[in-house]
Structure 1
């Protein structure tokens, strides 16, 4: 009997056919997406926001307030306003005849102290217009109440709660859990205050770490009490005693005059209607009733075409650039993000260096503001950016504006600027270096794995993580770290015009608030982003009363370019595939951790943990600060 043999198909041809099929499907899907985009753009103009007469500007932060925003894409809702857009919105609303007042609504999202106080200054300036400000707190944090304390009237519902309690810190130490896994983290630090690595090697604060954090917490607590006392016209002693006890319920807050009334939000909105009607009656004699309140968000007001704009404008060929450096510092281009962060912002040195060069080469940009909000990270990346700034400032002036945090690598980079401006509540300094090396010999022992070695020289097993740390390895690590620390301190000395010994006395890894940094000559002047813009305008001969075009970096990405890039992207190398595989897992982790399952302070500490471990996997020596509560 003859056997009929069916020839096997060529697997390469199968793969080729499959690839062609997938490509055709991709093109078809892409065409549908492009058609959708076209329709979204076609009809998007019909949804443009318009500021109506008697509008109320809603100041509320349901998401983390970032220094800049990225394009959400044509199918996504508009992203939240950036910090600069918030400042401009409140400033413009002051002079806008269409805006009757501000409504502050607590959203439970803590703001960094420096940003928060600058927003309060904008609110105080708004009050000069004699327009009203009402606030409503259903539930809220300390930062929510601090902002609301500058309203004319604060209301809470009967069952409302506010976290009116004294500031403090609860820091997680990982030594115990690492020991259970047999992992030993060897930490070296220059010098005693450089405590970021101690959370991995200790089970509680060292004395220097406790000292530096306590100084910041106490200073911020006193500043918070002062601000609330001023906003509410209550003696500071009463404020402090209330915070010491911890007051939460609305009736207790009312009895202490912390709020002005108990009401549901619908009732507060009715009060606002009556307020507007009263104003209109006095101004124009109109007795018309307000049926529906026109509430406009910060984002909507920033985008509204008929919102108030300053008629005094600087020439279009005289512009400023704000280059935002937000998040942990690492080498390379932007793209990957920390799964524990509240957002996807990072300082990727190649990308930020490119932004600096763009601003330097743009003939219309006359001055640059480097806006830093970073706890530090990579030594190599920080030094790369330091050199890029030194090159740029030969062409045009560069100002550094420090946000909530500009420490360690976040201080290293601004040192290259002409002028450093820190907010009094900025956390800065942390001039020092750390190194962290995980040793896994304990883990291998637990698993019953033994190690045998072959060496061709005395250094073959130096810092071998599969074996216990040796004295030789420890000395070698210190010898690698100390020159980096010396160069950091010397850069401080050169930048701040002091001797090496004077700079070292202020270094040792210690963090400082902006006020102390100014007293110690680590920064040039105190102020926020608004002051930095004013100083830059003055430098290029533009009156502070004029609006100026500000180009913000990183620039928003063009969605169509990103789409085509995604459709046509192919696997370039094995590392890219590994990153792609990791990203799906990290997306899952991000979803879990950024949900409400974990308290914010735990998320923040996990973010720092991730940043340190991520950078230390590539570099032994780091420029990063310890965890300090945002508020």
Structure 2
């Protein structure tokens, strides 16, 4: 309605009628509608959908470092964009909790650990849940692990807590084609892993060491985030688990239908608020009882009749029910 009021004014329209809503606005009414809307100031555009107080952040496709876009794009999600959306949702007064809707096989190690640490940090400010819908593997598993709680569907695939790299050598192909490439370099390790030479044994061993260290870092992060032991995580040997099996191994918390994820999260948040209010009331009741007991004791010790009979007063004060 506001849009047509604004356009109509610009086109010289003298009134606006919306028969379906029984609305009839004259020129002044059209101007008032536009003015009322604008007095609230510019409406910030959210980079996520908010449903029942839950910000839904899609995480799909290959995960990459420094993609430069807020939302998933062209089959990829950037760690930088996800981090920016998370911070925005945490600072959004309309958002009670955040749900990462994950469907990703993983991606780059670069940027993954910083993004996961940010999720782990921000979950202290607002609940951040992960929905494996239908895949959260490798780097995506790392992000899911950092969340407060992990939901999986019955056909979900979760896990793959490991690291891999590939090396391709074109040495034989180049030789067959009669192509001779000479690398001129300074620094013993400058051309380690180049694609025009077969991988030397020493270089391969160095790469394996780095991969093992990265896996250990991955395992320790998942253990920290989830509360599992590093040994238990390491013993998964980068296996992928389906649905309930992911829960059984400890990588997920609850099996749900993806369509129910927001309602499940809202219900859990409401239950949490109820429990907090109950505990607050209980604590206040205890505090009131302590205060009343202190008043009773001090009333006995300080009363006029206690003077000269302090020992008797102390004995009476120590007996509950005496005042």
Q: TM tier, shorter chain?
A: 0.5 to 0.7
Report the alpha carbon displacement of residue 318 of structure 1 after superposing the two structures with TM. Answer: 6.8
Alpha-carbon separation, structure 1, partners of 2:242 and 2:163: 19
54, 60, 64: which is aligned to 1:326?
60
Say whether 1:414 aligns with 2:144.
Answer: yes
Q: Which runs of 5+ in 1 are unaligned?
A: 1-37, 43-49, 51-84, 86-315, 544-631
Alpha-carbon separation, structure 2, partners of 1:500 and 1:391: 20
Match of 1:347 in 2: 77
90, 93, 96: which is aligned to 1:360?
90
Match of 2:42 in 1: none
Instruction: List per-residue Cα deviations over 1:466-507 (Å, max 9, x = no partner).
Output: 21110011011112111110011112222332322221111x
209, 213, 218: which is aligned to 1:488?
218
Alpha-carbon separation, structure 2, partners of 1:317 and 1:406: 22
Say whether 1:437 aligns with 2:161.
Answer: no
Match of 2:119 in 1: 389
162, 173, 178: which is aligned to 1:448?
178
Match of 1:16 in 2: none
Alpha-carbon separation, structure 1, partners of 2:51 and 2:222: 35
Q: How does 1:580-595 map to 2 (within 5 A)?
A: none
Match of 1:514 in 2: 243
Residue pair 1:327, 1:345 contacting (<8 A) in 2 also: yes
Secondary structure, counterpart of 1:395 in structure 2: coil
Alpha-carbon separation, structure 2, partners of 1:357 and 1:454: 47
Say whether 1:399 aligns with 2:129.
Answer: yes
Q: Which runs of 5+ in 2 are unaligned?
A: 1-6, 12-19, 21-48, 273-323
The number of equivalent residue pairs is 229
Secondary structure, counterpart of 1:370 in structure 2: strand
Report the alpha carbon displacement of residue 453 of structure 1 after superposing the two structures with TM. Answer: 4.0
Residue pair 1:329, 1:381 contacting (<8 A) in 2 also: no
Report the alpha carbon displacement of residue 461 of structure 1 after superposing the two structures with TM. Answer: 3.4
Secondary structure, counterpart of 2:167 in structure 1: strand
Match of 2:257 in 1: 528
226, 235, 245: which is aligned to 1:505?
235
Q: 1:317 to 1:491 in 2, by over 3 A?
A: closer
Residue pair 2:52, 2:266 contacting (<8 A) in 1 also: no
Alpha-carbon separation, structure 1, partners of 2:52 and 2:247: 31
Report the alpha carbon displacement of residue 405 of structure 1 after superposing the two structures with TM. Answer: 1.1
Say whether 1:541 aligns with 2:270.
Answer: yes
Alpha-carbon separation, structure 1, partners of 2:127 and 2:265: 8
- Name the TM-score, length of structure 2 as normaliser: 0.64
Residue pair 1:375, 1:409 contacting (<8 A) in 2 also: yes
Q: 1:529 to 1:317 in 2, by over 3 A?
A: closer
Alpha-carbon separation, structure 2, partners of 1:404 and 1:398: 18
Residue pair 1:462, 1:472 contacting (<8 A) in 2 also: no
Aligned-residue CA RMSD (Å): 3.1
Secondary structure, counterpart of 1:460 in structure 2: coil
Report the alpha carbon displacement of residue 377 of structure 1 after superposing the two structures with TM. Answer: 0.7
Instruction: List per-residue Cα deviations over 1:443-474 (Å, max 9, x = no partner).
Output: 32233121334454432332122211100110
Say whether 1:424 aligns with 2:154.
Answer: yes
Q: How does 1:22-101 map to 2 (within 5 A)?
A: none
Instruction: List per-residue Cα deviations over 1:151-198 (Å, max 9, x = no partner).
Output: xxxxxxxxxxxxxxxxxxxxxxxxxxxxxxxxxxxxxxxxxxxxxxxx
191, 197, 204: which is aligned to 1:461?
191
- Name the TM-score, length of structure 1 as normaliser: 0.34
Report the alpha carbon displacement of residue 428 of structure 1 after superposing the two structures with TM. Answer: 1.0
Report the alpha carbon displacement of residue 531 of structure 1 after superposing the two structures with TM. Answer: 3.8
Secondary structure, counterpart of 1:535 in structure 2: helix
Residue pair 2:161, 2:219 contacting (<8 A) in 1 also: yes
Match of 2:104 in 1: 374
Structure with larger Rg: 2
Alpha-carbon separation, structure 2, partners of 1:354 and 1:456: 40
Alpha-carbon separation, structure 1, partners of 2:196 and 2:202: 16
Secondary structure, counterpart of 2:111 in structure 1: helix
Residue pair 2:146, 2:222 contacting (<8 A) in 1 also: no
Q: How does 1:94-113 map to 2 (within 5 A)?
A: none
183, 188, 201: which is aligned to 1:471?
201
Residue pair 1:326, 1:372 contacting (<8 A) in 2 also: yes
Residue pair 1:321, 1:359 contacting (<8 A) in 2 also: yes
Q: 1:349 to 1:391 in 2, by over 3 A?
A: same
Secondary structure, counterpart of 1:333 in structure 2: coil
Q: 1:466 to 1:345 in 2, by over 3 A?
A: closer
